[in-house]
Chains A and B, each alone.
Chain A
């Protein structure tokens, strides 16, 4: 699983950091999302899918291993 973010759509709600802190972080200066682990290990996939679903700005795109992209 791969995760990409669109920082233009990020509204700094912090949902992703609260849901999957191993994968997402907020920039100290502008509060926008940064990805710590673009390739998501199996153990964190559920959290990352939930983070993408909870993201109010639709800024998180998850690509499953089979290459099918789902921009949530």
Chain B
């Protein structure tokens, strides 16, 4: 094992392909499904890169998602304190996790999301109307990719969209790996306070939204409602916004692929391939082994930290074809990509995935249909990405049409 490199997490982006995760993870995957990694504080953890092994880590209860357990892998001590003090159900195990998650599953049912499609279409069309009203160029991230999912999740949760400036800035801080711990803690407190006050108001005057329903329950504390609210609000707009921006930039590089979105029948499969190839959770998913586990020929001891790397699992040769292995140059919207793990796996798999899929399908298909001349307004080399974010994306995307 001494010859196997120890990969620092987060790894640096020294890559020719700005859409791809750091090459160190892909290189680690080529040496075996389970490798060694090192967190920023110098503590060791396992880097799990193989597809079946990632599925095992995320679905086997011998790996815990409870961030309060000593030794749970975190990027900084500050982040550990912040998350452990107010864990949302994302960082809890069953039965606590199931109790809290099941209170909101009803809002993300496939049929409920299907019923939201006309509303999402209207939001997408109106955002495009506003973006194009003044003529080009425009920043597609600020004018389209971020407003669409922000409006949708605000509508669903019952959060006033006019408060977006504060919650968008705090969401970004919460997901920054290069931010000061005190700033991250302040961002989390502000978001929790904001959602707590909102839940109190909903208790007095309930509406037809998720927060109102949560606020009316007598088996939830205001803090639990706020933690769930922060999770849904942050996860509901940051992820989808980054996927819309990155997907657009990638498709502008591959116009022959973008043209395939004109056929409505190819759109759902195309979105699965974009989810697979971009896998925006570049830093992976942390877990803690709570029993000894033999995984991919390696003995992982109880108490060891583990990072499940979704992006390398999604480049599995056998499942998705070897040509997709390096970078994302070989994005193929016709590929059978539904087995990807971009939404994670196991009981923590993304709750909002039907909503994310609907938003991505409608946003990308509408964008390329309405603006057939869409193109970058700057050279691709000038695009600014977010290597410092837990969820990868573009800072801005200057386009014209």
- A interface with B by C-beta (< 8 Å): 9, 11-15, 17-19, 21, 26, 28-32, 50, 53-54, 56-58
Contacts and interface: CB of A to CB of B under 8 A. Distances in A.
24 contacts: A11-B105, A11-B346, A11-B348, A12-B105, A12-B108, A13-B349, A13-B353, A14-B354, A17-B111, A18-B357, A26-B109, A26-B110, A26-B111, A28-B106, A29-B106, A30-B105, A31-B109, A32-B105, A50-B338, A56-B58, A56-B59, A56-B346, A57-B59, A57-B347
Contacts of B250: none
Contacts, number: 63
Q: Is the interface of B mostly helix, strand, loop or mixed?
A: helix
A57 B339 CA distance: 14
Contacts of A57: 59, 346-347
Interface string B335-360: 00011000111111111011001000
A13 B350 contact: yes
Contacts of A12: 101-102, 105, 108-109, 351
Given A14-B110, A56-B58, 14 more contacts: A11-B101, A11-B349, A13-B351, A18-B354, A21-B110, A26-B110, A26-B111, A30-B105, A30-B106, A31-B109, A32-B105, A56-B344, A56-B345, A56-B349
Interface of B: 58-59, 98, 101-102, 105-106, 108-111, 338-339, 343-351, 353-354, 357
Contacts of A19: 338
Given A12-B351, A53-B339, A17 B59 contact: no
Contacts of A30: 102, 105-106
- Most B Cβ at <10 Å: residue of A11, A26, A29: A11
A54 B109 contact: no
Contacts of B59: 56-58
B353 A31 contact: no
A31 B344 contact: no
A23 B349 CA distance: 21
